[in-house]
Amino acid sequence: MLVFLLFTVFFMAANVGGYHFLWKAIQHGQMFGAWQKVVDYFYQHDWDNLSNFLGNCQVCFGHFCAILGFIAYVIFMNAMELYMVHGWVNIIWYLFYVAGTWWGCMVSINETKEGTE
């Protein structure tokens, strides 16, 4: 059980770090700045929610990264045969993981804003 919880905390921290890196990297003029063309395309064609989710909004993008991180977490835990959560508890564990990771993303945003002022 301890290994399971340690892997969970590790994946949540890695997810927040990955979000922080990706958010900075997809901005105009950065490493993956061309991604903004995709986001702008969806925004111009009235797909506002999708463009927000893919990088037009920090909060929405943080939630998107949390969901992707949970999928990677479940695949890894099943491959390692450490996934101890089954049945309806999966929904509760999903909510815990995504909420915790999303909260970490929001703290990361606030720390960045405070550091730049």
Does an H or E element contain 20, and which? helix 2-25
pLDDT in tens, the chain (117 residues): 788 788 888 989 999 888 888 888 888 888 887 888 888 888 888 887 787 788 888 888 888 888 898 888 888 887 777 666 565 567 778 888 888 888 888 887 776 555 444
How high is the pLDDT of residue 63?
Answer: 86
Residue type, position 115, single letter: G
CA-nearest of 56, 60, 70, 59 to 98 is: 70
Q: Which residues have a Cβ under 8 Å from the Cβ of 97 and sit 6 or more positions away? A: 8, 11, 12, 66, 69, 70, 73
| Angstrom distance (rounded) from CA 28 to CA 7 | 34
Of the CA atoms within 13 Å of residue 106, those in its CB half-sphere come to: 9
